[in-house]
Structure 1
Amino acid sequence: MRRYDRLKHILRLDPEKDSHEIYRLIAAYEFPWDIARALELALYRTYAVPSIGRLLAETAELTDRTQRRYDDTSLLLDAVVEHGFDSVNGRTAIRRINQMHRTYDISNDDMRYVLCTFVVTPKRWLDAFGWRRLTPHELRATAHYYSTLGRHMGIQDVPVGYAEFEKYLNDYEDANYGWDEGARKVSDSTLDLMASWYPAPLAPAVRTASKALLDDSLLRAFRYARPSPTTRRLVRGALRLRGRGVRLLPPRDRPHFGRQNREIKSYPGYPVGYQVADLGAFGGGTGQGKSACPVPHAAKGQSAIEEKRP
């Protein structure tokens, strides 16, 4: 297979009917490292909305159990990417996501904004640092994939098409970004987590590099000092150089899913060290009658434990 052969295959698929397959190919074959980093940044952006950042601080999940919550979020989203919406593991992951969200009083507007970050941030990341950009065909499929996810999560008035996702995100950030002490604590904990993935002497440099990737609106919301122009050029230049290097590599011949990322550390014995139904924070309001996926599915005679892939 040559470097662009998989893209040629993607372009032959239907961007709506085959949106899950297209997104799986994008996330697990074409850009696994970039998508992981972009989704980290996507979730991080949401802290700058005070209603979101404050709630996350009040739960203490992202300040006291930061690694575990990072792992659970990654694995739940990854289960849908790997197995699909109608699979046992995919349905179980969505059920757990819904159970956790419905434990708290989260507005539909905030939920819709978080969903928008999953569509817009990866596109912007790949525009800046990827070995290639997403095509309009792939963007259409990505938007449809996340519209479907939003429907399964019971989010109302989900945008249709990439342009609507981006407009909602831009408008929501312009109207809502602001300072919150709790949100800053969540942000600091997240930066500390990212630094912990590297040898201790590199931790200050990792924190500095992470801030160099933040736009000015995020820096203002968290009241961080703006990194120097030289730091920004070095960090962003290094990522662009990496993208050019990846372009010269042969295409990936096997998928790399989020559960295989070295940043996930809470579950020993991968890939069988966890069950999807056990992921996430368990608290009040976890009754399945209230929190099940709102989209009906055909019954499946298979348990979530049985569905595993290498």
Structure 2
Amino acid sequence: MGHYDIARKIEEMDPERDAVAICHLLAGYEFPWDITRALEIALLRTFCVPSIAQLLDHTGEFQHHTQKRYDDTGVIVSELFKWGYEHPRGQGFLQRMNAIHGRYPIGNSDYLYVLSTFIYEPVRWCDRFGWRPLSDLEKQAMYHFWVAVGQRMGITDIPDSYGAFEQYNQTYEQQHFAYAAANQRVAGATRAMLLGWFPMGLRSLANQAIPALLDAPLLNALGWQPAPASLTQLLENGLKVRSRFLRKLPPRSLPDFFADQSIRSYPQGYGLNDIGPPSLLADLNSIDQKEHS
């Protein structure tokens, strides 16, 4: 099997009709590591919007249950990429997410912005550091996939094209990115979680490296200092070397989804009823049982 066989297969698909199948191939076979990293940056970008960060700060989930909040997001996104939003399993996790979000006063414009980051951050990362850039067809498929998810979340006024939604994403950031103490608290808890993944001897270097690939508006809104220029250059060069190396490897024969890995919050595995803030799990599980009885 040639390294570009999956890419060629995707180019024969329809970006709207086959959006689930295309995103399954992108997230599971072509770019699993890259899309995970891109969505971590997407998460940080949402903290740059004070209305979003203040809600997250108020719930305390990112301060007290940081790893679980991160893992739950990863699980839901991974399950959607793996199964799609029309499969019963995908539907179950999407309904679970809606039940969680339904407990909080989230504005439609904030929902729209967060949804847009799930499209454009992976596109930007893969264009910058992927072993190949995403094709126009693949970008359209990402747009149609997340628009369909957004519609099932009840989000309204979703821009009607890839370019229009990208413009919304950029304009929203220009208008709403601003420093707030809540931004820094929520982002700081997430940064501490990420550092906890490294051996003690590497944490100081990792702490300097975390801001290295982040742009100035994001850093300013979080109150973070930029990484040393030499470290930024080293990381960028390392990622580019990685992309050249990956081009020489055979393609994956088995998918690699976040949900298939050993997850820190769920070392014994997880079920649908495990997903959600600890403070809401009893209520959510009670609702689920009533709906299925």
Please tell me the TM-score bracket, short chain as reference: over 0.9
AA paired with 1:11?
Answer: E
Q: Which residue in the other structure is 2:163 paired with?
A: 163
AA paired with 2:192?
Answer: D
Q: Which residue in the other structure is 1:265 paired with?
A: 264
Distance of 2:287 and 2:164 partners within structure 1: 32
Q: Which residue in the other structure is 2:134 paired with?
A: 134
The reply to whether residue 117 of structure 1 matches residue 122 of structure 2 is no
C-alpha contact (below 8 Å) 2:183/2:221 kept by paired residues: no
C-alpha contact (below 8 Å) 1:144/1:160 kept by paired residues: no
- How far did residue 161 of structure 1 move? 2.9
AA paired with 2:275?
Answer: L
Q: Which runs of 5+ in 1 are unaligned?
A: 293-302, 304-310
Q: Which residue in the other structure is 2:23 paired with?
A: 23
C-alpha contact (below 8 Å) 2:57/2:63 kept by paired residues: yes
Most deviating of 92-101 and 109-118: 92-101
Distance of 2:242 and 2:195 partners within structure 1: 20
- How far did residue 231 of structure 1 move? 1.8
Q: Deviations over 1:245-293 (max 9, x none)?
A: 111111000101111345x301122xxx21123311253985869xx9x
TM-score normalised according to structure 2 size: 0.93
TM-score normalised according to structure 1 size: 0.88
Q: Which residue in the other structure is 1:278 paired with?
A: 274
Most deviating of 276-285 and 36-45: 276-285
Number of residue pairs matched? Answer: 287
1:283 is paired with a residue of what secondary structure?
helix
- How far did residue 152 of structure 1 move? 0.6
Distance of 2:57 and 2:114 partners within structure 1: 17
- How far did residue 164 of structure 1 move? 1.8
Q: Which runs of 5+ in 2 are unaligned?
A: none
Superposition pairs of residues 246-265 of structure 1, within 5 angstroms: 246-261=246-261, 264-265=263-264
1:277 is paired with a residue of what secondary structure?
helix
Q: Which residue in the other structure is 1:236 paired with?
A: 236
Distance of 1:152 and 1:159 partners within structure 2: 15
- Deviating above 3 A after TM superposition, structure 1's stretches of 4 or more consecutive aligned residues are 284-289
C-alpha contact (below 8 Å) 1:73/1:280 kept by paired residues: no
- How far did residue 162 of structure 1 move? 2.3
Q: Which residue in the other structure is 1:7 paired with?
A: 7
